[in-house]
Structures are given as structure tokens and as C-alpha cells.
């Protein structure tokens, strides 16, 4: 293999992540030419409706997968949290890169953290998961929709449309906006999206050469954690319609998983956590999902 073509979305964050993968593959494979194939996806173009309303997260992947099927690209780079729990048949994730900052960020030009917000403050986020956790902490807040790429969201905050917004730390840090993070919303009190902070490479299942090349960047510890978080989400029929959060940590052979399911409408949340073995992440994911269901998570899922 002499050339690798990476299909990517065109947002600044997607381009940063794809350039990062390209740089790492070039460094590990002298003589390999790596190019980017930037593409627009439906998830990027339709900004006036929620992701759930236009068909969910797969919308960020479909155009990139079609480019791979047409032979216009060899692989695609994604934020793993945007990758549906069930991958499209015929595709694989040969690499999950080491996780960056997993946490959500509280971003505001006037307030230091959620507790410092005045009564009825306007907080922007279109994520049901973030809305449910905000409502659970502060039922008084006014939650407003906020879509678009990271740069657009920061511009809307600066424009005065919101008192605060919630974004992923990883995206802010990759784009050099570390200084916008007023506080990190951390586990176990606040949980991220399953696989938040991890970048994944997708390619055709039958493309062995690309799979082997990309597998050089796989981080086994991050893969174990992501599998536990995604197995939990899958067992809860996770999609953009249900606020599901999960965070796993691997310590030697011990795997720890915390999960949460909530209601964005009224801020009720159920939580569960358990420990298991690092060689059986899916078992732990199913176990925590079962614990959440026993506490009534099914009601939130059915209501969505
Ligand atoms: N939903 C968009 C998205 N997908 C991945 C990230 C951040 C990077 C990551 O989690 O790896 C973001 C932005 C955000 O949620 O603030």
C-alpha cells in the first residue's frame, strides 16, 4: 500500500482529527502518502432541526461510507461518540485511538460553573444527555437548542445568545480553545457520552491492507472502555433519542463502568455502576444496562 485516502467531514474538528490520524500514520510508515478527502454530510448541512428529527447520528457517517464503497476513499475518521452502536454491515473499526479528555466542559463568559449560574439562566445544548443532567442539577435553568460545529457554538455564546453552553473538552482542546473551559464536568457526578474523547478509524471490512495499516494506531485500553460504554448503550437501545451517558475506566485488569439514563423533559435520572474484568467489557456493559433497567430506565426509553 503506497497511498491512503482518508474521507473526512469538513468541520474544523473533523479536519483536525483526520490530520492527526494522517500525521501519525505518516510518522509510522515512511514512504506512505496519506491524503484527505473532505466531504459534506447531511448531519453537517441540516442545522435547523435536531439530529434525532433528521434520522440520528448515522447521518455523519453515511456519505463517508458511500465514498469508501465507491472506491474514492480507503478509510474514514470519526469521533467514536458519533458512530452508531451498530456499525453498517461490511464496515469495521480497525483503530480506536487513545482517548483524550473524556469530560464535558462548562463554557461561559460570565460564570465559573453550573452552581454559579443565576436563577433561570439560559444554557445552550441540543444534547438530550446534557439537558437531562443539567435539569437534574438545576431545574430552574432555561435550556435552549444549540447546534453547529464547535466554532459556531462558541460564536453564538459570544454573541450573547446564552449565559453558558456545554461542549466536549476534547473538541475544545483539539482546536486550541482550552482557555474557554471554565470548569470540567467530571465523573461520577456528570457523565459523558459513550466513547466521548475517542477518535476511531472506519474502513471496509474486506480491505485487509487498510485494516492492518490503521490497526497500528489502535489503543487497546481505550477500545476496552469504549466497548463497555457502547455495549451498555446498545443494550438500552441507545440513540440520539434517549439521554444515555457512560464512562468506563480500566485499572490493570479491573474495568469500572458508570452509566446514567435520564429524562431531558423533567431531569429525572437513574444511575448505576459496577466493576468487571477488562477482558469482558461487553458483559460489564450489559450488567450496568440491566441495573439501570431495574431502576426504571425503561420508562425514559419508552417515552422517547
Ligand atoms: N456531537 C459532536 C461532537 N462529536 C465529538 C465531539 C467532541 C470530540 C470527542 O468527543 O471526541 C463533538 C463536539 C461536542 O460534543 O462538543
DSSP state of 122: E
From ligand 1's centre to the CA of 31, what distance in Å?
32
Q: What's the confidence (pLDDT) of residue 56?
A: 60
- Answer positive or negative: Cα dihedral of 139, 140, 142, 148: negative
Catalytic residue numbers, as ranges = 82
Q: What's the confidence (pLDDT) of residue 267?
A: 86
Q: What is the DSSP string of 54-67?
A: HT-GGGGTHHHHHH
Instruction: Name all residues whose Cβ lies below 6 A of ligand 1.
Output: 79, 81-82, 150, 167-168, 170-171, 196-197
pLDDT above 80 for 273: yes
Q: How far apart are CA 59 and CA 64, in angstroms?
A: 10
What is the pLDDT confidence band of residue 41, given thresholds at 50, 70 and 90? confident
Cell numbers found for residue 24: 501519525
- Over residues 74-96, the mean pLDDT reads 96
Protein residue closest via CA to atom 6 of ligand 1: 171
Give the tens place of pLDDT for each residue, 59-73. 778 899 999 999 999
- At residue 299, φ and ψ (nearest 5 deg) are -65, -40
Cell numbers found for residue 12: 474544523
**Average pLDDT, whole number, for the chain?**
93
From ligand 1's centre to the CA of 83, what distance in Å?
11
Predicted structure pTM score: 0.94
Give the tens place of pLDDT for each residue, 163-190. 999 999 999 999 999 999 999 999 999 9
Protein residue closest via CA to atom 5 of ligand 1: 79
What are the C-alpha distances in Å from 223 to residues 93, 237, 238, 253, 274? Answer: 10, 20, 19, 14, 18
**Which ligand 1 atom lies nearest to the CA of residue 105?**
16
- Over residues 113-124, the mean pLDDT reads 98
How much is the ipTM here?
0.96
Say if CB 141 and CB 123 are below 8 A apart.
yes
Q: What's the confidence (pLDDT) of residue 7?
A: 97
Say if CB 10 and CB 76 are below 8 A apart.
no
- Over residues 251-271, the mean pLDDT reads 93
Protein residue closest via CA to atom 9 of ligand 1: 197
Do you know the residue count of the chain? 304
Cell numbers found for residue 261: 439514563
Task: Name the percent of the chain lying above pLDDT 90.
Answer: 85
pLDDT above 60 for 240: no
Amino acid at each position: 500500500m503506497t497511498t491512503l485516502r482518508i474521507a473526512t467531514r469538513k468541520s474544523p474538528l473533523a479536519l483536525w482529527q483526520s490530520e492527526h490520524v494522517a500525521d501519525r500514520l505518516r510518522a509510522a510508515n515512511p514512504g506512505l502518502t496519506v491524503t484527505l478527502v473532505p466531504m459534506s454530510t447531511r448531519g453537517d448541512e441540516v442545522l435547523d432541526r435536531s439530529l434525532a428529527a433528521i434520522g440520528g447520528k448515522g447521518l455523519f457517517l453515511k456519505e463517508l461510507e458511500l465514498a469508501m464503497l465507491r472506491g474514492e476513499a480507503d478509510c474514514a475518521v470519526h469521533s467514536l461518540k458519533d458512530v452508531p452502536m451498530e456499525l453498517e454491515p461490511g464496515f469495521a473499526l480497525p483503530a480506536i485511538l487513545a482517548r483524550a479528555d473524556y469530560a464535558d466542559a462548562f463554557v461561559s463568559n460570565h460564570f465559573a460553573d453550573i452552581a454559579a449560574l443565576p436563577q433561570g439562566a439560559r444554557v445552550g445544548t441540543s444534547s438530550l444527555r446534557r439537558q437531562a443532567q443539567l435539569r437534574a442539577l438545576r431545574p430552574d435553568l432555561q435550556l435552549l437548542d444549540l447546534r453547529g460545529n464547535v466554532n459556531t457554538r462558541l460564536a453564538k455564546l459570544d454573541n450573547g445568545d446564552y449565559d453558558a453552553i456545554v461542549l466536549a473538552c476534547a473538541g475544545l482542546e483539539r482546536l486550541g480553545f482550552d482557555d474557554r473551559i471554565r470548569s470540567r464536568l467530571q465523573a461520577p457526578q456528570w457523565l459523558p457520552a459513550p466513547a466521548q474523547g475517542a477518535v476511531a478509524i472506519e474502513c471496509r471490512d474486506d480491505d485487509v491492507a487498510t485494516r492492518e495499516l490503521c490497526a497500528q494506531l489502535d489503543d487497546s485500553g481505550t477500545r476496552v472502555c469504549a466497548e463497555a460504554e457502547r455495549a451498555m448503550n446498545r443494550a438500552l437501545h441507545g440513540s440520539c433519542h434517549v439521554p444515555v451517558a457512560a464512562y468506563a475506566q480500566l485499572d490493570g485488569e479491573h474495568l469500572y463502568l458508570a452509566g446514567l439514563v435520564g429524562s431531558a423533559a423533567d431531569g429525572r435520572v437513574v444511575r448505576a455502576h459496577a466493576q468487571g474484568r477488562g477482558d469482558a467489557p461487553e458483559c460489564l456493559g450489559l450488567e450496568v444496562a440491566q441495573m439501570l433497567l431495574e431502576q426504571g430506565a425503561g420508562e425514559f426509553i419508552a417515552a422517547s
